[in-house]
Amino acid sequence: MELFEMTALELSRLLQKKEVSAVEVVTAFIKRIGALEPRLKTLLTFTPAGALQEAEAVDRKRHRGEPLSPLAGVPVVIKDNISTAGLRTTCASRMLANYIPPYDATAVRLLRKAGLPILGKTNLDEFAMGSSTESSYFYPTRNPWDLDRVPGGSSGGSAAAVAAALAPLALGSDTGGSIRQPAALCGVTGLRPTYGRVSRYGLIAFASSLDTIGPMTLTAADGALFMGLIAGYDPLDPTSLNEPVPDYCRELEGGVRGLRIGLVKERLAAEFDPQVITAVRRALELLQENGAVVEEVSLPHTAYSLPVYYVIGSAEAASNLGRFDGVRFGLREPGASITEMSSATRGRGFGPEVRRRIMLGTYLLSDDSGHRYYVQAQKVRALIRQDYENAFQRFDLLAGATTPDPAFKLGSKTDQPLEMYRTDICTLDDALAGVPSLSAPCGLSASGLPIGLQLTAPPLREGLLFRVAHCLEQVLGTPVRPPLAAAGTILREGERRPPCSHRMGALSDG
């Protein structure tokens, strides 16, 4: 097995035993990126020299016998809306195309301290506003399972990089599903932590009451190991939770016997793709066979999550993005007056989707509309939270589909914003409630596209999510990679049948 084919946990064990060096590991991924990146377009900034320097530093420390993090020497990629000192951070926008932050986000600082070499910054929808990574100012990212399809968004670059083995670990951000939805469409594991569990300091804000940073990995064990590095209290983030961080890895082997799982009816609606319904139900049947109890439950206010999210998210986006005015930092377009300069800067610096949400948010915060829409949305958000509190009195966790359909074709929804927004209908209410939620691979469609099972737990129960996802991997088989040829080319339709267990194989309709 090649080094780039291994999970982060497998690489960690090899590194700790000194069977390979950090430089060898990083070099393997640099070569992998060189072979596949020109077609996938997962990265906006590639930093091979910096990653090798960081790997050499880890090897020197290991040679001297210094104590190291279990993941020291395992490389990572960072979503490009998370600040990295001295390294370009663009938010995939013309507005910040040349912005170099003077500081690291807290999550990045923790990863550097733990000795994880940074391979680069991943592509995303502009300012994390989108569901397909097509609104990036630079270029769209392609799904490694099918180059004609989207990887999801907004963390599409991170999801595609992990799926294609360009990096074993990735940081993403999730406002309304931007970790979980691309994780499902690319066949990887993605966690949205409890709001406040991971510091938001250094995450360039979209919607401050919703934004989170979280891990994207191939397996649940990798996610548990990675999450242990970035979770914890941060005085630099006023929304950070001052709660002890458990050992997530210790919780992996608990199994599911006796767990009460609520199948959310609204996350398995009749209009969903039948193959998604089949895969999710099959996964839950397997959990039942291993001792879990599964019963249906309703979250009655889920029907309002889409409008509530876009009212609150757009209003907060309009406020947060007001700082990009051409005066302080970022792009500056010429103008005869400050007003003209600012108008030209914002008009040319932001793409269509960002402008759409700024205009909507500005309207929603106006004197005439604020009480009618924004205040009402916050009231309904409280009802959504109450639905979760009620459900968690009966169930240990909730389950359903992560997305209503597998990955869609590039360009098929770019002129249909409402259809694009619909792809997040399963992930929005968790974000509004602030609870932790994880997407785990649970099968492939008949055409070989990944399908995700979404698991949701009470606040601060991320370990439970990793535990259930890990159990699912034991019965389904370790999540499979896209069928990439050894030479680094991506196989086309008709050749896309990876060797895997029958449970992770393609599904038939119905």
CA angle 258, 259, 264 (to 5 degrees): 140
Residue 61 appears among annotated catalytic residues:
no
The catalytic residue among 83, 132, 155, 178 is 178
Rg of the chain's alpha carbons, rounded to an integer? 21
Residue 70 CA to residue 225 CA, distance in Å, equals 8
**467 contacts 189 by C-beta, under 8 angstroms:** no
Residue 267 CA to residue 71 CA, distance in Å, equals 35
Residue 308 CA to residue 425 CA, distance in Å, equals 11
> Is the backbone of residue 100 left (phi > 0), alpha (psi -120 to 50) or beta?
beta
Residue 427 CA to residue 444 CA, distance in Å, equals 20
**354 contacts 126 by C-beta, under 8 angstroms:** yes
Phi, psi (deg, nearest 5) at residue 275: -70, -35
Which are the contacts of 371, defined by CB distance < 8 A and separation ≥ 6? none
Cβ neighbours, 10 Å, residue 99: 16
Cβ neighbours, 10 Å, residue 415: 9
Cβ neighbours, 10 Å, residue 458: 18
Please tell me whether residue 330 adopts helix, strand or coil conformation.
Answer: coil
Residue 265 appears among annotated catalytic residues:
no
The catalytic residue among 69, 93, 154, 199 is 154
Residue 178 appears among annotated catalytic residues:
yes
Closest by Cα among 35, 500, 467 to 223: 467
The catalytic residue among 12, 69, 79, 199 is 79
Residue 141 CA to residue 122 CA, distance in Å, equals 9
- The residue written with tokens 């996938």 in the block is 40
Task: Indicate which residues carry an active-site annotation.
Answer: 79, 154, 178
